[in-house]
Amino acid sequence: MVAGWLYAFLYEGLGAVADLETAMYFSTISYAGIGFDDRYIMPEWRLVAAIEEINGLLLLGWSTAFF
């Protein structure tokens, strides 16, 4: 889940979300592939969230296969 925290810090650093709590929530639901609501992130940063979701799905699948 280190990658989730890194994305959360990225979102907060860019000013894409309101605060760190929202950034962590948004990052967690994006990384896990649960799906997200665009109201938590500014529209110009939605592509970063999509990349995080693809990255999360690949890494979770890879981790599962590894273990």
Domain borders along the chain are: 2-66
pLDDT at 3 over 80: yes
> Average per-residue pLDDT in the chain?
90
Three-state DSSP string of 9-67? HHHHHHCCCCCHHHHHHHHHHHHCCCCCCHHHCCHHHHHHHHHHHHHHHHHHHHHHHHC
Measured N-to-C along each axis, helices 20-31 and 46-66 cross at an angle, to the nearest 10 degrees, of 50
State mean pLDDT over 27-36. 84
Distance CA 16, CA 13 (A): 8
Confidence of residue 62 (pLDDT cuts 50, 70, 90): very high
- Residue 37: predicted pLDDT: 72
- Residue 34: predicted pLDDT: 82
